[in-house]
Amino acid sequence: MEKKRILTGDRPTGRLHIGHYFGSLRTRVEMQNSGKYDPYILIADVQALTDNFSNPEKVRKNVREVMLDYLSVGIEPEKTTIYIQSMIPEVAELTVFYSNLVTIARLERNPTVKTEIAQKREIFGESVTYGFLGYPVSQAADITCFEGELVPVGEDQLPLIEQCREIVRKFNSIYGDTLKEPEAVLSSSKRIKGLDGNEKMGKSLGNAIYLSDTPEEITKKVMSAVTDPNRIRKDDKGNPDICMVAYYHDLFTGKNEYKQVCEECRAGTRGCVACKKQLAQNIIDFLAPMREKRRYYEERPELVDKLLIEGTEKARRTAKETMKKVKRAMKLDYFE
């Protein structure tokens, strides 16, 4: 049976954190190891520049940081094609072709784009760049250039996949049946809250635990996590439902242990400091195999570069084949 191609990716704007792990990385490893799919993972450095255009060094550095995170969680280049977006010129070429099929008004109506523009006001002010507004077009090229059939996404990203499907339908209606229309696969993973209780975990918010954090960094961060504000003294009865330490125990602690944590918190027999120390150790133990694997590759930068080059070369061969079909359909294959 032919394997279905899966297309996923990350913007290299920072190291990956536990929210990424529970949100998508764990699922990618499971799908990779199932043997049912042909996974492609994009390191989207061009998209990262849409709101980091003035800090290219940050993006450049984080390409390798993200690759190290992939390798540390168990993504295997022998089973998954990992590639760098900017090193596939065919994607940029296809983006230009697609730009003729999408109106500015349609891009401005995209709910995901509208939300992200509102969040980036401190960067853009009232002047949104062409690149940022048009990144759904670039994303459509990312997916279709590699004939991605399945695209796992969160609910907030569904409008982007629908816009990609619209572009494919428009292209095929004009130039003939050439491109595959991708299908969004809604992720069952939930978004992990930050240590401060914020619904979003991120570097800019200072509330994230990174996959590569040292035991000391993890302990320091956990000790600052938000607990029940009404619990003043050690023997006060607490409410684990509004405590981020209990929330994280649910992620990193066994069911019986988590139940005990909640019961003791409600009874006032568990102090917050001891509870935090226990949680920190559980997280340290959970991430230890990832840190060890990451360290192996950190000590072998030439191997990391080799894997990136090989994955990108393989991805480009796929992209070249797609563009041959696209140019043939658009009557741009002048000398073939």
User: CA-to-CA distance for 292 and 315, rounded, in angstroms?
Assistant: 29
Of 168, 138, 111, residue with least CA distance to 11: 138
User: CA-to-CA distance for 88 and 123, rounded, in angstroms?
Assistant: 27
Contact present, 55 and 13 (Cβ < 8 Å): no
Of 311, 335, 269, 239, residue with least CA distance to 84: 311
Digit-coded pLDDT (tens) for 125-154: 778 888 889 999 999 999 999 999 999 888
Contacts of residue 319, defined as CB under 8 A and 6 or more positions apart, other chains included, come to 88, 90, 91, 145, 146
How would residue 259 be classed by pLDDT, with cut points 50, 70 and 90?
very high
Two tokens, residue 158: 């569904």
Distance of CA 75 to the CA centre of its chain: 14
Two tokens, residue 307: 């894997």
pLDDT, average across residues 65-92: 97
Q: pLDDT: is 297 or 199 the higher one? A: 297
Of 139, 150, 183, 156, residue with least CA distance to 32: 150
pLDDT, average across residues 67-83: 97
Q: What values do phi and psi take at 310, rounded to 5?
A: -65, -45
Query: pLDDT exceeding 90 applies to what percent of the chain?
Result: 70
User: Where do the structural domains in the chain lie, given as residue ranges?
Assistant: 4-193+301-329, 213-295
pLDDT, average across residues 312-326: 97
pLDDT, average across residues 198-202: 85
CATH number at 213-295: 1.10.240.10
Contact present, 178 and 326 (Cβ < 8 Å): yes
Helices (DSSP H) in the chain: which residue ranges?
18-20, 26-34, 45-48, 56-73, 89-99, 104-109, 111-119, 121-124, 130-133, 135-144, 158-175, 215-223, 244-252, 255-267, 272-298, 301-329
What is the Cα Rg of the chain in Å? 22
Using the predicted structure, report yes or no on whether residue 1 has a pLDDT greater than 70: no
Using the predicted structure, report yes or no on whether residue 58 has a pLDDT greater than 80: yes
How would residue 214 be classed by pLDDT, with cut points 50, 70 and 90?
very high
Distance of CA 73 to the CA centre of its chain: 13
pTM above 0.85, yes or no: yes
Digit-coded pLDDT (tens) for 16-51: 999 999 888 998 999 999 999 999 999 999 999 988
User: CA-to-CA distance for 156 and 115, rounded, in angstroms?
Assistant: 9
| Domain 4-193+301-329 coded CATH 3.30.365.10 | no
Digit-coded pLDDT (tens) for 267-280: 988 889 999 999 99
Cβ burial 138-160 (10 Å sphere, 16+ → b, else e): bbbbbbbbbbbbbbbbeeebebb
pLDDT value, residue 119: 76
